[in-house]
């Protein structure tokens, strides 16, 4: 999606109220923290931004830089990489390798291979940056991630590891600004990377940061801290959070590592605590970063590293030249691509029984598929449906038109993107209407068929009665 035309023409009219209406109240806020990072009047409460009463109603910065309002991927790719993506699932990249830190102090605390911590400490020690905006750990709440600005190796080491919870990382820009830290890097998930890219490229000198590196981390989804950790793990399961040393997701389980034991919780039991906005995110590998890092595709204890931009390539080579990382070409690209593709196409599929029932109502196979997608996705465009189904746009358009004619879907124009989006009708309505049509059809058939069959029966009634008596 390119620059939002409404934003271009109505920029002076937009304000926090628009962010609240178009993003927050629609359940699309990922909690990236970009709005709070660029506006001191915005705070986070219950993982969502709120504004105090003295904010400037004519300032549109919060909604301008919100990645969920719009993110001009093609424009950012051309600006950052000099071209658009080479891979529809992984985005633009130069090369992909597997890597592992050579530092014991980092390996002792890191999640996997310690690549993010290694690059971060190098940036600080080499004087390339004065601070790194990243996720740290709250001093008050065990395992709760909070935005920090790391200015020394100790800060990076203390922040190592994953928490898998919503954290407004980009809000750390405010701390960096207040401490007069201008040369910065940022470590964040896809939504946080998108937010910082918008600040970096479109801020028009309002936010005078010299961003030296944007490091992305793989992210499938994030959980809500209070729901998952405080209410479920500590409240329902009775596990003291202060005793948990590390959290890992492995083998379809949410693992809580304590001093002498590991509590393993099936992932399916914690999914209800996922941040709703994460379910509509389609970027697994932080495709707009300079360097993206994760575990998928590499052996245990190693990281998969996607080197994307020229800036990222130069930085990664410096880290290698200083013998801070070990490299391996053993990367399972197929598995990495599969995970990225799955997130892009991730929908809650309707059951075989439900699909069969919809077909009984007269819908074709493709129409059933498309209707199922409309139920699972958040107001998708034709391009989104096309990317998931991998069939021609003409076929999908025909299926959508049929659904609209049936009254199963509605096409509307998004006033902000000026593009068509598709909304499903309530299942209760389409099923009830379908049942009425079926019942009317059955009644008509009953009248014609019963008359015909009765007539035939009556012609042979005497013969039938005789045969019955003999039997």
Q: Kindly state the DSSP code that residue 349 receives in the 8-state scheme.
A: P
Question: Of the ranges 29-43, 61-75, 446-460, which one carries the lowest mean pLDDT score?
Answer: 446-460
Helix axes 365-376, 382-389, angle to 10 degrees: 120
- Report domain extents, the chain: 71-224+274-340, 352-425, 428-470
**What pLDDT, in 10s, does the model give residues 175-223?**
999 999 999 999 999 999 999 999 988 876 657 899 999 999 999 989 9
Query: What pLDDT is stored for residue 464 in this prediction?
Result: 67
Confidence of residue 448 (pLDDT cuts 50, 70, 90): confident
Average pLDDT for 49-71: 83
Q: In this model, does residue 162 exceed pLDDT 50?
A: yes
With a cut of 50, say whether residue 1 has pLDDT above it. Answer: no
- What CA–CA distances, in Å, run from 118 to 136, 153, 183, 424? 16, 9, 18, 47
Q: 100 falls in which pLDDT band (50, 70, 90)?
A: very high
Report the candidate in 177, 230, 252 with the shortest Cα–Cα distance to residue 244. 230
More confident residue, 334 or 344: 334
Half-sphere exposure of 407 (CA within 13 A, CB side): 11
pLDDT at 417: 55
Q: What is the pTM of this model?
A: 0.76
pLDDT band at 366 (very low <50, low <70, confident <90, very high): very high
Q: Quick check: 140 pLDDT over 70?
A: yes
429-451: average pLDDT: 88
- Looking at residue 324, the DSSP 8-state letter turns out to be -
pLDDT at 9: 45
**Long-range own/partner contacts, residues 21-25 (CB < 8 A, 24 or more apart):** 22/63, 22/69, 22/416, 23/63, 23/66, 23/68, 23/69, 24/48, 24/49
Average pLDDT over residues 308-314: 97
Task: Tell which CATH classification among 1.10.150.530, 1.10.10.10, 2.60.120.260, 3.30.420.130 matches the domain 352-425.
Answer: 1.10.10.10
In percent, the amount of the chain with pLDDT more than 90 equals 52
pLDDT (average), residues 92-96: 96
> How high is the mean pLDDT of the chain?
88
Q: pLDDT tens digit string along 257-280?
A: 888 888 899 888 888 899 988 887
Mean pLDDT of 218-240: 92
State the Cα–Cα distance between residues 148 and 179, nearest whole angstrom: 12
DSSP assignment string, 38-52: H-TTEEEETTEEEE-
Q: What is the pLDDT of residue 281?
A: 85
Helix H or strand E encompassing 133: strand 131-137
**93 pLDDT more than 50:** yes
CATH architecture of structural domain 71-224+274-340 = 3-Layer(aba) Sandwich (3.40)
Q: How far apart are CA 32 and CA 36, in angstroms?
A: 9
Distance CA 47, CA 167 (A): 8
pLDDT classification of 117: cutoffs 50, 70, 90: very high
Whether residue 73 is predicted with pLDDT greater than 50 in this model: the reply is: yes
Helix (H) or strand (E) run with residue 453 in it: helix 427-459
More confident position, 10 or 274: 274
Alpha helix segments (H runs only) across 345-415: 352-360, 365-376, 382-389, 393-406
Q: Is 467 exposed, middle or buried (0-12, 13-18, 19+ CB in 10 A)?
A: exposed
| pLDDT the model gives residue 470 | 67
DSSP string of 311-359?
HHHHHHHHHHHTT-EEEE----HHHHHHHHHHHHT---PPPHHHHHHHH
pLDDT of residue 251: 78
Q: Is 326 helix (H, G, I), strand (E, B) or coil?
A: strand
pLDDT at 317 over 70: yes
Collapsing DSSP to helix, strand or coil, 246 comes out as: strand
pLDDT at 323 over 90: yes
Cβ atoms of residues 101 and 325 within 8 Å: yes
Q: For 363-391, what is the mean pLDDT?
A: 83
């Amino acid at each position: 999606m390119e620059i939002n035309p409404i934003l271009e023409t109505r920029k002076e009219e937009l304000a926090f109220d628009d962010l609240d209406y178009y993003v927050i109240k629609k359940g699309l806020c990922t909690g990236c923290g970009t709005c709070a990072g660029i506006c001191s009047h915005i705070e986070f409460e219950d993982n969502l931004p709120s504004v105090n009463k003295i904010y400037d109603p004519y300032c549109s910065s919060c909604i301008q830089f919100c990645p969920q309002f719009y993110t001009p991927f093609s424009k950012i790719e051309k600006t950052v990489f000099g071209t658009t993506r080479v891979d529809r699932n992984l985005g633009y990249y130069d090369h992909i390798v597997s890597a592992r830190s050579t530092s014991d102090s980092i390996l002792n605390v890191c999640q996997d291979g310690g690549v993010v911590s290694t690059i971060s400490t190098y940036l600080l020690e080499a004087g390339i940056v004065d601070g790194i905006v990243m996720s740290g750990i709250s001093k008050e709440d065990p395992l709760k991630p909070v935005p920090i600005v790391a200015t020394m190796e100790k800060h990076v080491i203390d922040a190592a590891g994953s928490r898998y919870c919503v954290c407004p990382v980009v809000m750390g820009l405010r701390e960096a600004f207040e401490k007069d830290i201008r040369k910065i890097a940022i470590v964040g998930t896809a939504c946080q990377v998108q937010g910082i890219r918008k600040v970096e490229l479109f801020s028009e000198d309002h936010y005078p940061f010299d961003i030296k590196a944007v490091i992305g981390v793989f992210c499938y989804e994030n959980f809500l801290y209070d729901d998952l950790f405080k209410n479920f793990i500590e409240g329902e399961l009775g596990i003291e959070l202060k005793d948990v040393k590390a959290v890992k997701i492995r083998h379809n389980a949410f693992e809580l590592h304590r001093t002498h034991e590991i509590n393993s919780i099936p992932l399916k039991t914690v999914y209800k605590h996922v941040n709703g906005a994460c379910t509509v995110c389609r970027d697994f590998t932080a495709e707009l970063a300079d360097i993206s890092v994760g575990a998928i595709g590499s052996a245990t204890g190693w990281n998969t590293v996607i080197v994307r931009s020229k800036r990222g390539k130069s930085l990664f080579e410096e880290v290698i030249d200083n013998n801070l990382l070990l490299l391996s070409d053993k990367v399972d690209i197929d598995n990495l691509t599969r995970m990225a593709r799955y997130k892009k196409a991730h929908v809650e599929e309707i059951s075989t029984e439900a699909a069969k029932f919809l077909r009984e109502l007269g819908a074709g196979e493709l129409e059933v598929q498309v209707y199922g997608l409309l139920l699972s996705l958040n107001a998708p465009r034709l391009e989104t449906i096309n990317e998931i189904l991998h069939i021609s746009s003409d076929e999908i358009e025909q299926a959508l038109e049929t659904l609209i004619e049936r009254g199963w879907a509605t096409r509307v124009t998004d006033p902000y993107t000026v593009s068509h989006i598709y909304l499903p009708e309530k299942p209760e309505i389409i099923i009830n209407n379908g049942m009425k049509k079926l019942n009317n059809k059955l009644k008509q058939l009953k009248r014609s068929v019963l008359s015909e069959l009765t007539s035939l029966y009556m012609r042979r009634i005497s013969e039938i009665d005789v045969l019955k008596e003999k039997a």
